[in-house]
Structure 1
Amino acid sequence: MYPVERRLLTLKRYVRNKARPEDSIAEAYVAEESLTFCSKYMTDVETRYNRSPRNKGFSDESVFGVDVFGHGVNLIGGCQLTYCEKFDQLIFYVRNNCAPVEEYVGLFKSQLQEDGVAEAHIDTRFRQGFVTWFRNHIFCRSPTEMIDDDLRALACGPDLRVRLYCTCVVNGVRRMRKKNKRSQNSGLSCMGTHNNKDIDFYGTLKEIIELQYNNKEDGTPRSVVLFRCDWYKLDGKRIALKDDGFFKSVNTGSLWYNNDSFILATQARQVFYLPDTKFGKGWQVVQTFGHRHLFNVSEIDLGARAEIVPPTA
């Protein structure tokens, strides 16, 4: 609120000789600029420019051969061991959203078509039988065929007991499920498909779920972190998403996709919801933001020159 006063406080701290305050400020300013310039080239010394971020993940994706295991989510606090009623749905979503499993998805759907399953029932049969088929297909293959250990662990399945957490750090953002909290770290959005169209789904975080798989030979744990969310309904005559080109407003009174409420933690993007003063109660304005420590700078070809267009009369 007071940038001038804050800057004067910094300059006053530079004064060491009160008889010549201007010289002290100039000398300290040059020294600070020199140290700042040098500190950016010291990779083996911790400075404020190479300090580890406050919200940091725990693992590297290159360690695992399956992308869902290299999520890098840092789970904070204690966990609650419980059994989930939608355990089969969790396993299906993980396998259906794993890149190395895409070829097996296409193979299973082709097999359903060869068996004479109608096109309208393929999606239903796929949801019901893909988990079992994938496990049997991986373990019944010839021993001479090379199967990645991570893919084999994924086919084996996780522990029947899931772990519920209240807080986690993913993609440099701290997320908390909104339960008796006044903070707004629970709002999120995710890209999805509705009526064969790609749209942004908006909702709130309800549960942070971790699935534990078999550990690697060196003891590195394999796990998958998912979010259970409440998605706000964006389709309807009175509650449809309102977008005037500047603000997007959603109605928080109606929910949809209750049977498809799980996403991977890495698929979520954080948003905030503000009260909508135009449409009144039940409507929230979606506010997106960019992280202060992340920059999206477009690359410029230095060899190419910009075309200079002379001004017209």
Structure 2
Amino acid sequence: MDSHEWFEAHRYALFNTGDEQVETFIKEHKNIIDKHARGNAWVKAQIHSREFSDWFKEKVKKVKVPNHLIWLSYGPNEVAKRYSGYFINGYQFHKMQRDARCKTQNNGVTLSATTDSFASARDQNPVDGMVTYYGVIQDIIEIDYWGCFSVVLFRCDWFHNEIDGYGLTRVYFKKKCSTDDPFVLASQVHQIFYVEDPIEKEVYYARNKVPVDLYDLAEENCPNIEETF
């Protein structure tokens, strides 16, 4: 991975470990930034996101933590595995490039997450609430924390969406969002498929998929491909 991709992948893994001790460190760093950094809430949130990994690495050196948090603080190996398909949560996911060769559609994903939502960079009062994201998988990678554990991430393009007057979710493929945070844990997402609007180009309707059993997933025309980079 190049340095930018490495940073984005590691940052997402850090903020989504689900580990109680890491969550405590995240709150501690956020409080430090809120107290000492200059700028509004948007600026401070950006500083917290950008600087936490380096702060966490130094923090771990000074306190007693489990072995897996020591390796987590180092960041992943720069060499990661790349997959064209991945099965999890009852879904067979494909990256978009592979789906181009298949009759089925398995690259659509949705994620609901609690996050601080800013109306703009000048917003002083972010709203903490549930936000639903819609996107497509561009890459599937497995990052390795030096043999201690590994994490599978989907790198996605995320799009603006809205609910129309009929309660359907419209997704605008020409309007990307969250471009600075493209990664998501494979375990976090659900699969959807997109139906193109018959009138408006690059507008799609998101429809839910039902998880299926593994034995229903044979796809002779789409062999599983694994690459290393």
Report the alpha carbon displacement of residue 215 of structure 1 after superposing the two structures with TM: 2.6
Q: Give the aligned partner of residue 189 of structure 2.
A: 268
Alpha-carbon spacing, 1:118–1:242, altered in 2? closer, same or farther (3 Å): closer
- State the secondary structure of the residue aligned to 1:181: coil
Instruction: Name the structure with the higher strand share.
Output: 2
1:110 aligns with 2:31: yes
Contact 1:83 1:162 in 2 (8 A): no
- Equivalent positions of 1:1-313 (< 5 A) are 82-83=1-2, 85-100=4-19, 101-115=22-36, 117-120=38-41, 121-141=43-63, 145=64, 147-179=65-97, 180-182=100-102, 183-192=104-113, 193=115, 194-195=117-118, 196=127, 197-216=129-148, 222-234=149-161, 241-277=162-198, 279-292=199-212
Distance 1:246 1:114 in 2: 43
Distance 1:243 1:169 in 2: 32
- State the secondary structure of the residue aligned to 1:189: strand
> CA deviation digits over 1:200-247, x for unaligned, max 9?
11111000011111234xxxxx1011111111222xxxxxx2423453
More deviation, 119-128/167-176? 119-128
Question: Bigger relative contact order, structure 1 or 2, given CA contacts below 8 A and separation 6+?
Answer: 2
**TM-score, normalising length: structure 1:** 0.57
Alpha-carbon spacing, 1:117–1:99, altered in 2? closer, same or farther (3 Å): farther
- State the secondary structure of the residue aligned to 1:290: coil
Q: Which amino acid aligns with 1:257?
A: S
Q: Which amino acid aligns with 1:175?
A: F
Alpha-carbon spacing, 1:201–1:116, altered in 2? closer, same or farther (3 Å): closer
Distance 2:51 2:68 in 1: 21
Report the alpha carbon displacement of residue 109 of structure 1 after superposing the two structures with TM: 1.8
Distance 1:232 1:181 in 2: 23
Contact 1:167 1:208 in 2 (8 A): yes
Q: Which runs of 5+ in 2 are unaligned?
A: 119-126, 214-229
Distance 1:198 1:97 in 2: 16
Q: Which runs of 5+ in 1 are unaligned?
A: 1-81, 217-221, 235-240, 294-313
Aligned alpha-carbon RMSD (Å):
2.1
Report the alpha carbon displacement of residue 107 of structure 1 after superposing the two structures with TM: 0.8
**TM-score, normalising length: structure 2:** 0.77
Contact 2:108 2:137 in 1 (8 A): yes
Report the alpha carbon displacement of residue 255 of structure 1 after superposing the two structures with TM: 1.6
Larger Rg: 1
Contact 2:107 2:136 in 1 (8 A): yes
Contact 1:175 1:186 in 2 (8 A): yes
Report the alpha carbon displacement of residue 118 of structure 1 after superposing the two structures with TM: 4.1
Alpha-carbon spacing, 1:140–1:285, altered in 2? closer, same or farther (3 Å): same
Alpha-carbon spacing, 1:172–1:122, altered in 2? closer, same or farther (3 Å): same
> CA deviation digits over 1:161-220, x for unaligned, max 9?
22221111111211111213333100111114444342311111000011111234xxxx
